Chain A
Amino acid sequence: MTIIYFLIACSVVLAICFLAAFFWSHNSGQNKDLYTPAIRILFDDELVEEKPSNENNSEKDN
């Protein structure tokens, strides 16, 4: 049963990893705005069609 010592050590280390991951995400501001990204993700389809033509235009202008 001494394997318990090892298993508990593993589980604690794993939990600390998750805690550290949470700290990283929090400090990098990922939890600041939880609403806008949900809307933003719905935009991209039409954007892809448009981007090339627009970039071409601006290059011609220059």
Chain B
Amino acid sequence: MAVITKEVCYHCGDECSSKLLLKDEKNFCCNGCLNVYSILAAGNLQNYYKLNNYPGASQKKEIQAFDYLNIPEITAKLVNYQDTDKTIVTLYLPAIHCSSCIWLLEHLNKLDAGVTESRVDFLKKQIYLQFNHNHTKLQQIAQLLTSIGYEPLISLQDVVNNDVSKKDRLIPKIAVAGFCFGNVMLLAFPAYFGIAPSERHFGEFFSLLSLAFCIPAVFYSGLDYFKRAYVSLKQGVLNIDFPLALGIAVLLIRTIADYVFNVGEGFADTLTGLVFFLLIGKLVQQKTYHHLSFERDYRSFFPVAVDVINENGEIIPIALENIKEGDRISVKNQEIIPADAILLNGNALIDFSFVTGESKPIQKVLGEIIYAGGRQTAGSLELEVIKPVSQSYLTGLWNNESFQKANDNKTKTFVTKVSHYFSIILLSLATLTLLFWLPYSWQTGLNAFTAILIIACPCALALSTPFTMGAALSIFDKNKFYLKNTDVVEQLAAIDTIVFDKTGTVTLADNNSIEFIGNVLNGLESNIIYSICKNSSHPLSRKICGFLNTSKVIAIEDFKEIPGKGMHTIYQGYEIFIGSTSFVPHASTRLVDFPQVHININGEYLGYFKINQKLRPQLGELMLSLSTNYQTYLISGDGNQDNSLLKHYFKSESHLLYQQSPQDKLDFIAKQQRNDAKVLMIGDGLNDAGALQQSNSGIAVTDNINNFTPGSDAILDGTSFHLLPDFLKFSKATVNIIHLSFCIAVCYNIIGISFAIQGKLSPLIAAILMPLSTVTIILFTSISTHIQAKKHNLIS
């Protein structure tokens, strides 16, 4: 009995579907993969394949030329460092995914001797390259990387924005605070156990030394709290930093005063501990996600350089920002139109789905204006630029005031709201206590006044949010839901209305969802079908054309299209029907879930094209569970051809809006917000960037995480789309945890304040209460977040 094994590509592990490519007794799925193998084999780098099975990325895509990397002004902006013979550059390679990648990329000098050093940062997917530019060029390296399957992603933003590498000073600050805290604790222990009168001089020495440790802790590590408190006071806002800064200041003054007047040990231990714990909270809060960039704008969407045709007909690449009015540019298939331009030559079939949301490519005729942002889908074009990039339609749209608007309409976070009242209550309580004690003893009064400010310092409050959010964010992260920052969780918990974009959000963007059911079509039959469908602009005809794109156009006669039914034509005397079940003779409907196109040639029924439902899987359950708690809307730039498919998922047909421009979408969201709705917008492209921005929180759904995701508060991987209701419930649970932990913090504060009001707060009580409340909060938040995540099936 013969055993049938499927041949898989030695390089990428894809199935070898068509004809087999063989080399060294290994199978390859395509020429690209074979090429990569040949390059690596020639460079003696077969180890690449030993470290992991099928480590390569599929090479079925076309290779870019990177000609623009020969333009000195572009490379100058990309490189980190350059001298007479050495260049250092950091490139982003999205294809890095396994240990074989690291091994191969760090042995790049075997393939290009000009490379002197290459190091990979796996998590950031970056390669740090040092090369001798007398022996090799950046363009050659980029081509080499592409040819071995690691195409560098170079966008205009990398070229324009170069000052992203801000130095992170938080870690050194924590180190200093921890150092001071540890030493002060060591010195404070003798005082906790009591120092004998004969050894009093030791106590004084310890206090002085502790005071010395407080200075760096306050003026180096804690300085940011004073700065932020000052800034917020200037704006007339009492945020959480104000009571924190006040607490730190009072602690320092008390400690100095206690030492100078020799009245006590001071609060050095509490002070350094407070700064240390606060900074730890800050670190948890600041944990950023390097694999995602939220700060991108339209520039990362455009190419870095454009092919310009000069007077002599030569094609030279020119940096995008140097494109002038009147330049003649050449745009190849699958490239983006970089600036508003007039069509001079070529067959322009432009896909504007990124700008308008309409997924059907639009045919443009010679002399017509083509706006920037469209993607050419048929052959190369020659265009004349009429507006430079910075003034084009798309850039104008992007720079529109409403797109730029600061996030004023985003909900205020819980901590912001609470800390406002917290500061007021704290200050009035302290003042009242002072006034109460003044007639009896000003020392006790001052003591109680400072003690209240110290003990009520909202350390636990400041920590509860970062720790809960940190835990929640990492759980979202594991489920491929990436939030811009922690405030987004609170925004998600508050929403009551959800607006979906159509293309790429509820429907899948790819076109490979069509198959023919029936007898296998022969060459002539597919030629006939292709030629007929090419005459029709119906979306299903377009899809069939895309499916049969290898066929030839042949002459057909008597073409008739009956809207809503199908097409009827004659070819060499054969009568041909293409269309719906009721229209095509002998056709019968098998399943009604998906659109189908039946074919009948010369009275013989051949079968039908099955257009697979391109809705996201599990959309039904998702919409069902969302619509019980939320208002759901669909808003689309597309025509209403999918209305029949989608309307079941929404409460009424008025909740589905079609042919909406980006501005309409924005206005719709704003209208809902005026009716006090908290709107969640779920979209994908640049065309809903304004709506994403305007909404209370905006989620971008993407099937490729490296995609451009403008104006959004969160990025959701398409494979996790069905988890959306769980994400929303978990956000609510997270916010509840923060409220509860706030209650716990208040309980501790009440205990502390009851000591402080009586003027009985000893440094020992402060030193115990502060860390105790902190540890309780951290434990409570982490454990309960974990339990909630389990409850919503977000972790196993």
Contact = CB atoms under 8 A, between A and B. Distances in A.
Interface of A: 1, 4-5, 8, 11-12, 15-16, 19, 22-23, 26, 31-33, 35-36, 39-40, 42-43, 46-47, 50, 53-54, 57-58
Given A50-B44, A58-B113, 16 more contacts: A1-B202, A4-B202, A5-B205, A8-B187, A15-B182, A19-B179, A23-B175, A26-B175, A33-B121, A36-B119, A36-B120, A36-B121, A36-B123, A43-B102, A46-B47, A54-B44
Interface in B152-171: 171
Nearest to A36: B122
B122 A35 contact: yes
Closest A-B pairs by Cβ, 6 of them: A36-B122, A33-B121, A39-B99, A19-B179, A54-B44, A35-B123
A40 B102 contact: yes
Contacts of B186: 11
A44 to B, nearest CB: 10
B754 interface: no
A19 B186 CA distance: 17
Contact of A39 (B47, B102, B171): B102
Interface of B: 44, 47, 50-51, 99, 102-103, 106, 110, 113, 119-124, 171-172, 175-176, 179, 182-183, 186-187, 199, 202, 205, 209
B205 A42 contact: no
B209 A33 contact: no
B123 A33 contact: yes
A32 to B, nearest CB: 8
Contacts of B205: 5
Nearest to A53: B44
A47 to B, nearest CB: 8
A8 B209 contact: yes
Contact of B172 (A12, A26, A40, A43): A26
Contacts, number: 57
A42 B124 CA distance: 20
A22 B175 contact: yes
Given A19-B175, A23-B172, A36-B120, A57 B102 contact: no
Nearest to B202: A4
Nearest to A40: B102
B24 to A, nearest CB: 18
Contacts of A11: 183, 186
A40 B171 CA distance: 25
A16 to B, nearest CB: 8
A12 B99 contact: no
Given A5-B205, A53-B44, A39 B199 contact: no
Contacts of A19: 175-176, 179
Nearest to A38: B122
Given A8-B209, A54-B110, A15 B179 contact: yes
A1 B102 contact: no
B777 to A, nearest CB: 27
Nearest to B102: A39
B102 to A, nearest CB: 6
A11 B187 CA distance: 11
A39 B106 CA distance: 12
Nearest to B110: A54
B199 A1 contact: yes
A31 to B, nearest CB: 7
B216 to A, nearest CB: 10
Contacts of A12: 183, 209
A57 B175 CA distance: 50
Contacts of A40: 102, 106
A43 B44 contact: no
Contact of B50 (A22, A31, A46): A46
B44 A57 contact: yes
Nearest to B205: A5
A58 B109 CA distance: 12
A15 B50 contact: no
Contacts of B202: 1, 4
Contacts of A36: 102, 119-123
B650 to A, nearest CB: 44
6 contacts: A8-B187, A12-B209, A15-B179, A23-B175, A36-B119, A40-B106
Contacts of A58: 113
A26 B587 CA distance: 73
A4 B121 CA distance: 48
A40 to B, nearest CB: 6
A32 B47 CA distance: 28
Given A33-B123, A36-B120, A26 B171 contact: yes
Nearest to A1: B199
Contact of B122 (A8, A31, A39, A43): A39
A42 B99 CA distance: 9
